[in-house]
Amino acid sequence: MKRFRTYLALLLIAAIIASGVAGCAESVGSGENAGSTGNAGSTGGVRAQAVNLMEDIDPNIVNGRPAGDVFIASMADFAIELFKNGITDGENSLISPLSLMLALAMTANGADGETLRQMERLLGGSIPLGDLNEYLYNYAYGLDDLPESRLKIANSIWIRDNESLRVEADFLQRNADYFRAEAFRSAFDSQTVTEINDWVDANTEGMIDRILDVIAPEHIMFLINAIMFDAEWEQVYTLESVRPGEFTDIGGAVLDVEFMHSAEQLYLDDGMATGFIKPYAGGRYSFAALLPNEGVSIEAYIQSLTGEGLLRTLANAQYETVYTSMPKFEFEYEITLNDVLAALGMPDAFDSGSADFSRMATFAHGPIYISQVLHKTFISVDELGTRAGAVTMVAMAGRGALLEPKYVDLDRPFVFAIIDNATNLPVFIGTVMTF
């Protein structure tokens, strides 16, 4: 059987916004006139007040590194550990490992010392940050954006306009080079909240309309990634294939929902669960679902997952007909990941007494540290295809042979993912627990 390679990805997707990078000087003073008034992505008709710090500098040409086995294994481990630790018991959950990776990698480009070492180990394993930048550039911006399977990525950095804050130009340059990030200096008032939320809304095409309610006095910078995914099924469900059915939720309640029925050609079996892969139009992305075997709880199954195991399961997909039923579903998810990320190996970044972000900026009133990593996602799966979006915001603060037919009926809690057929790394991965 031809090897089937797939990237699993938590589909938090946003439009790629091309941008230039900010100043060539050694640092950019927030209180200086460092650019002209610019539009933060698309601000939905609201007049932007933020100054575009990237306006006068173009990103350098970078070659990137092709995704090899080490990078793919590292990304898969990162994705699964985040999924296992970032879901909420008994609730529908969705994580975009790619969105979190890009936002945290941008942040890591401002870290130094032990803070940098901890972030490198979590994000890349044995891969140094400089190499990880190149891998991520090649991978993220090599993902196809097709008319029938759209995937867009956007990154931005928002900086408080304060004379006591001086942002390192090298930090902005690296994030422009490898992440195509925009950077804006702003007053961090209510207008900034509006502009950031408008940027998020535009770059997820309305799937996520806000990430920020208020800016706290200690906030000095926000690093934001957005991902937008909108894809049609290669074979859409017909009207006759959608029928009422029963879904037994995580609490045992039997719910009446609409099920979509189809015959697929890629069957999954990892010993603890069975499932299927359903392609999207264009051939680059697919939807994968895994249903734990009878007697295996969804919680036990999720905790058994590993990056290596998931890649192996997807690569070993069997080419045979599987008759499937899947409920239509739509939900939003939101989680603050400070404790999860600290427990996974980067505690110093959240500790004002230990964090070292000296390659990002200097702040006259105290050290710079991460005050919050907020992750929001959205997914909608129906007869025509899938729409999914993700936004990650890192808030920086300063303070001091004839076979028997196979059947998979997703009629109880299951794991699903949107996958990139070329790489086997997760873009989105989630679980449906209830309706």
Question: Of 11-20, 60-69, 172-181, 391-400, where does the model show the most confidence?
Answer: 172-181
With a pLDDT cut of 90, the percent of the chain lying above it is 74
Secondary structure letter of residue 12 according to DSSP? -
The model's confidence at residue 13, banded by pLDDT at 50, 70 and 90, is: very low
Domains in the chain and their CATH numbers? 9-232+331-398 (3.30.497.10), 234-328+402-432 (2.30.39.10)
- In the sheet with 165-168, reading across from the earlier edge strand, the strands are 27-29, 165-168, 361-363
Does 39 have pLDDT greater than 70?
no
Q: How many CA atoms lie within 13 Å of 42's alpha carbon, on the beta-carbon side?
A: 14
Q: What is the pLDDT of residue 22?
A: 27
Angle formed at CA 99 by CA 281 and CA 53, multiple of 5 degrees: 115
Q: What is the pLDDT of residue 403?
A: 46
Does 41 have pLDDT greater than 90?
no
With a pLDDT cut of 70, the percent of the chain lying above it is 87
Secondary structure letter of residue 234 according to DSSP? S
Does 26 have pLDDT greater than 50?
no
The model's confidence at residue 56, banded by pLDDT at 50, 70 and 90, is: low
The overall average pLDDT reported for the chain is 87
Q: How far apart are the first and last CA of the chain?
A: 38
Q: What is the pLDDT of residue 46?
A: 37
Q: Are 28 and 172 in contact (CB under 8 A)?
A: yes
Where b means 16+ CB within 10 Å and e means fewer, 315-332 reads eebeeeebebbbbebebe
Of all helices (H) and strands (E), which one includes residue 173? Answer: helix 169-179
Q: What is the pTM of this model?
A: 0.85
Taking the C-alpha atoms of residue 387 and residue 26, their distance in angstroms, rounded to an integer, is 42
- In the sheet with 385-398, reading across from the earlier edge strand, the strands are 51-52, 182-186, 149-160, 219-232, 385-398, 368-381, 329-336
Angle formed at CA 48 by CA 28 and CA 357, multiple of 5 degrees: 30
